[in-house]
Amino acid sequence: MLNQVVLVGRIVYDLELKKNDSGKKYLSLVLAIPRSFKNIEGTYDTDFIRCIVWDNVASNTSEYCKKGDIVGLKGRLQSRIVEKNEKRENIMEVIGEKVTFLTSSKEKEEN
């Protein structure tokens, strides 16, 4: 079996490094990824994909990237069940294993 996802997109929100109850660092981010084809109205739709990265990958991403930067993310697709208002909801998200900085805030500041 194979579960591998590769995404290239723009970071949608400002990044905030967090820690879970056991003290492990994580970063939740949403990538905006335009589709490669036009819809019936002749415009490109955009998908917004929720991703989570952990530990050093999370630290480095929060340090070197910000909202609007383009990143490449390699990881795996994961589903989990969340209970909201006594309803069970299935959430799909990408667990990132590697993030490649394609544009960087630090690079822009230096130029």
Q: For the chain, what is the mean pLDDT?
A: 91
Q: How far apart are CA 68 and CA 37, in angstroms?
A: 22
Q: By residue range, what is the domain housing residue 105?
A: 5-36+43-110
pLDDT bucket at 85, cuts 50 / 70 / 90: confident
The single-letter DSSP state of residue 12 is -
Q: How far apart are CA 14 and CA 31, in angstroms?
A: 11
Q: How far apart are CA 32 and CA 68, in angstroms?
A: 9
Evaluate if residue 88 carries a pLDDT over 70. yes
- Please state the pTM of the whole predicted model: 0.84
Number of domains the chain is built from? 1
pLDDT tens digits, 39-72? 999 999 999 999 999 999 999 999 999 999 999 9
Q: The domain spanning residue 57 has which CATH number?
A: 2.40.50.140
